A and B are shown apart, each in its own frame.
Chain A
Amino acid sequence: MTDSPVNPAAGGSIEEIDALLALDALPPDEQADAELRIGLVPSHLGVATLLAEETVTVPPADLRADVLARATSHRQPGRPVDAVLPCAPDVAFDRTVEDLKRLLDSLTDQDWNAAAHADHGRVRDLVAHLVGVERLVSRWLDPDDEVEDLPDHVQATRPVIEELAGADPHDIARQWYEAARAVAAASTGDRSRYVTFHDLTMTVDQLLVMRTGELWSHAIDISEAVGRPLPVMDPERMATLSTALMTSVPVALTYQGTDVPGRAVRFVLTGPSGGTFTVPLAIEAPTADPGVTIIADTVRFCRVAINRLRPDELDGVIDGDRELADLVLAGVGALARD
Chain B
Amino acid sequence: MDLSGSDALLLERIRAGDAQALADIYDQHAGLVFGLARRVTREEQLARDVTQEVFTYLWEMPGRVDLSRGSLRSFLALLAHRRAVDLVRRHEARARAETASAMPEVEDGPEADVVEAQLQSWQKKKLAELLGKLPAEQREAIRLAYYDGLTYVQVAKTLGIPEGTAKTRLRSALGKLRTLLTEEAREVTT
Q: Which residues of A contact B (CB under 8 A)?
A: 11-12, 15-16, 19-20, 22-28, 40-41, 44-60, 63-64, 66-68, 70-72, 74-83, 266, 268-271, 274-276, 293, 295-297, 300, 315-317
Contacts and interface: CB of A to CB of B under 8 A. Distances in A.
A208 B49 CA distance: 49
Contacts of B36: 52, 55
Interface in B20-52: 20-23, 26-27, 30-36, 38-39, 44, 48, 51-52
A275 B17 CA distance: 6
Contacts, number: 234
A270 B171 contact: no
Given A16-B168, A72-B22, A74-B56, 9 more contacts: A25-B145, A25-B152, A46-B181, A52-B80, A52-B81, A57-B106, A59-B35, A63-B30, A81-B15
Contacts of B62: 81
Contact of B1 (A67, A79, A270): A270
Contacts of A317: 1, 3, 9
A295 B115 CA distance: 35
B177 interface: yes
Q: Is the contact region of chain B dominated by helix, strand, or loop, or is it mixed?
A: helix
Interface of B: 1, 3, 9, 12-23, 26-27, 30-36, 38-39, 44, 48, 51-52, 55-56, 58-64, 66, 69-71, 73-75, 77-78, 80-82, 85, 89, 106, 111-112, 114-115, 118-119, 121, 123-124, 127-128, 130-131, 142, 145-147, 149-153, 155, 164, 167-168, 170-171, 174-175, 177-178, 181
Contact of B31 (A24, A58, A296): A58
A58 B124 CA distance: 14
Nearest to A296: B1
